Amino acid sequence: MDCTLRSPALNIAVVIPCFRVRALALRVIERIGPEVETIYVVDDACPEQTGELIASTATDPRVRVLRHEINRGVGGATITGYRKALEDGADIVVKLDGDGQMDPALIPRFVRPIAQGAADYTKGNRFFDVASLRPMPAVRLIGNAGLSFLSKLSTGYWDVFDPANGYTAIHRGVLSALPLDKISSRYFFESDMLFRLGTLRARVQDVPMRAIYGDEKSNLNVRRAAGEFGVKHLRNFVKRIFYNYFLRNFSFASIELVLGTALFVFGLVFGGLKWMESASTGVTASAGTVMIAGVSIILGLQFLLAFLSFDMNSTPRDAVSASLGPEHEPGPALKLPPADGTD
């Protein structure tokens, strides 16, 4: 562990949303290291009364229990913790789940890139080490691969993976600039966070980690979530393209997108109609007709590929937290010396 992270001037807070994790949450809290200033446990109307158990049992003076009367989902619970951490002056806020799948010993690894100004937001990635994926259920492997691709399209972060990973850390400057009331409050929360961070051009960095799988049960309905996530990713993709390429900026990439889409769609529709006409009448389409459809499709595809290349190279590379204005500055404690290579 980098000893500089234990500096009292660096206020690190941890948010733990709790729902049906009564048997595991206390063990998670016990493993949180001394580099953390405050631990916010958010009882999201848990039927197991996890909040009551922690409030009456936990001996760690850093623990503060926040309660919801109505269940708001993992995102809603996390946002409650975020708001309280900002109110209390936290410089960096770490979010980890209470189900024991995330190792609290990794907190310094998530905090360090933000503290050193290399990132605004860090998130876990369980796919760096192939050997560590063996305990992961097959349905989660397949689902994460699909969701990761959709997330790249909808957020513009082409160099990050495992978007549904809930182990994250965020700089207070960026957190205070986010529209917290507009972020999805349910299981789409992590993916929607990436979309919102993209609108700020925040620098996001993956942190390699291993997930710990035990007897815990997920509350996520995979089949229902797949359709919901697909629709929401499409919505965010349309928003991102409009914001980045037409509302806030207009470039050759914008022209490539418009021309590419128009030509590609025209070629498909025109070619399809002529093909059906030829099939019904028995008259072979002329070479000119085939050329018009074929060239339109090829040119449209080329323009779209050029746009995609531009979009992939436009992933935010620099942390923006220092440029958000004085009201978002966390203070000099975030200027840490280089890590010593240990955790």
Residue spans per domain, the chain: 3-245, 250-312
Of all helices (H) and strands (E), which one includes residue 194?
helix 189-199
Reading the chain (343 residues) residue by residue, the pLDDT tens digits are: 454 455 446 899 999 999 998 889 999 999 999 999 999 999 999 998 999 999 998 889 999 999 999 999 999 999 999 999 999 999 999 999 998 889 999 999 999 999 999 999 999 998 877 766 676 767 767 777 788 889 999 999 999 988 888 999 999 999 999 999 999 988 899 999 999 999 999 999 999 988 666 555 555 555 566 678 889 999 999 999 999 999 989 999 999 999 999 999 999 999 999 999 998 888 888 999 999 999 999 999 999 999 999 999 998 877 766 555 444 444 434 443 333 434 4
What single letter denotes the amino acid at residue 25?
Answer: A
Distances (CA, A) of 160 to 81, 222, 238, 306, 312: 25, 22, 20, 21, 11
Comparing C-alpha atoms, which of 183, 2, 175 is closest to residue 92?
A: 175
CA distance 59 to 198: 39
Report the alpha-carbon distance of residue 86 to residue 212 in Å, rounded: 29
Whether the Cβ atoms of residue 204 and residue 316 lie closer than 8 Å to each other = yes
pTM: 0.84
- CATH architecture of the domain covering 3-245: Alpha-Beta Complex (3.90)
Give the integer Cα–Cα distance in Å for 53 and 29.
Answer: 12
Gyration radius of the chain over CA positions:
24
